[in-house]
Amino acid sequence: MTIENPYLMFLGDAADQLAAKVANGTRIWRPDWCIGQFRLPGCGADLGLPDMTMEEAAAAGVRTIIVGVANRGGIIPDSWVAELKRGLELGMNIASGLHNKVAEIPELVEIAKANGLRLDDVRHPTRNFSVANGIKRPGKRLLTVGTDCSVGKMFTSLAIEKEMRERGLKTSFRATGQTGIFIVGDGVSVDAVVADFISGATEWLTPANDPDHWDVVEGQGSLFHASYAGVTMGLIHGAQPDVLVVCHEAGRPHMRGLPDYELPPIPETIDFNLQAARLTNPQVRCAGVAVNTSHVSDADGEAFCRRVTEETGLPCVDTMKHGVGAIVDRIQAEEL
């Protein structure tokens, strides 16, 4: 699906900043598309964008209202519906990344049809996919993988794509989750694809391309996460990556949502992911490690990155503090 911009970021009554992480990620990477935010009374999130009414957003040229909240259960409360209806009446499309579908709310469907507008549920694919075939295809692909969920795979992928583009390389970011889709305007949310077709969907998302073109594929989940490893494996096999970049959060006490599971060591993470990726690309290699050090001191973060480099022989950076130039340097050096 393709999402029209510019956007109004709908925060509703999000309890806190974390609940608005979808909207916040979109704002960071596409500030030129995000021209305002809409907040209900009691909203605990703030993107630093101008607060707008639906009328003000329409007058400012907004094309799509982005429901940028990740709430418990992925629901659309009744308290949101009246405002979303008003947005449609004013000529704006709606796109949502929640599990509940805006396209299944009768009053929204009625107004959208009457006005020729779109209701896009980006978490739910709008087409069918074939089963993967694993056949080698032209083009180059990089996939971010992680020790856990929510360790910066999307941010790192976007940063690598940006760095490659600034160096004059042919490159595309391939979104595999709802926030990434809002950021680039299209993609496939692979966690909502039927399991047998995840690899096939990824092959479709990263088709044959010029031999020197890089698809930078947003990773999901982790091979070490008991809840989401299946999604990760499907992405690995379908992306057929030439390069992996491992992502990690320093100081995280346990796997996200699984307090009985420790995070795996980074060398082990590299080995497991390379072993899985060799099924569809025996020449795959790891080009570096990206660590989120925001939850430890600067000194501890720097020491952590140095230790990873010593253990792996690979560049280790904090994407937000150091940039990803060292990782792209490694990729380009190995291509010579």
DSSP H stretches of helix in the chain? 21-29, 54-59, 78-89, 106-115, 153-166, 178-184, 198-205, 229-239, 266-277, 298-312, 319-322, 325-335
Three-class SS string for 68-131? CCCCHHHCCCHHHHHHHHHHHHCCCEEEECCCCCHHHCHHHHHHHHHHCCCEEECCCCCCCCCC
> What's the pLDDT score for residue 21?
87
- Coil, strand or helix: which one is 212? coil
CA distance 31 to 49: 9
Q: Give, as one character, the DSSP assignment of residue 286.
A: E
Residue type, 227: S
- C-alpha distances out from residue 283 to 236, 242, 246, 274, 333, Å: 14, 7, 17, 9, 16
For position 83, what pLDDT does the model report? 95
The predicted pLDDT at position 70 comes to: 78
> How many of the other CB atoms lie within 10 Å of CB of 86?
16
Q: The pTM is what?
A: 0.90
Distance CA 216, CA 160 (A): 8
pLDDT on residue 1: 60
What does the alpha-carbon distance between residue 159 and residue 121 come to, in Å, rounded to a whole number?
26
The CATH code that applies to domain 7-121 is 3.40.50.720
Question: Would you say how long the chain is, in residues?
Answer: 336
CB 44 within 8 A of CB 78: no
| Residue 241: cis peptide before it, omega within 30 degrees of 0 | no
pLDDT in tens, the chain (336 residues): 679 999 999 999 998 888 898 999 999 999 999 999 999 999 999 999 999 999 999 999 999 999 989 766 567 888 899 999 999 999 999 999 888 899 999 999 999 999 999 999 998 888 899 999 999 999 999 999 999 998 999 999 999 999 999 999 999 999 999 999 999 989 999 998 999 999 999 999 999 999 999 999 999 999 999 999 999 999 999 999 999 999 999 999 999 999 999 999 999 999 999 999 999 999 999 999 999 999 999 999 999 999 999 999 999 999 999 999 999 999 999 975
Q: Give the span between the Cα atoms of 287 and 243, in whole angstroms.
A: 6
Asked if residues 334 and 142 have their Cβ atoms less than 8 Å apart, the reply is no
Same topology for domains 7-121 and 140-335, yes or no? yes
Tell me how far apart the alpha carbons of residues 75 and 184 are, in angstroms, rounded to a whole number: 24
Task: Pick the closest to residue 44 from 19, 79, 70 (CA basis).
Answer: 19
In CATH terms, the fold of domain 140-335 is Rossmann fold (3.40.50)
Domain boundaries, the chain: 7-121, 140-335
CA angle, 215 then 304 then 331, to 5°: 25
Tracing tokens 């992306």 back to the chain, one arrives at: 239
Look at residue 28 and give its three-state secondary structure: helix
DSSP summary character for residue 264: P
Q: What confidence score (pLDDT) does residue 301 get?
A: 97
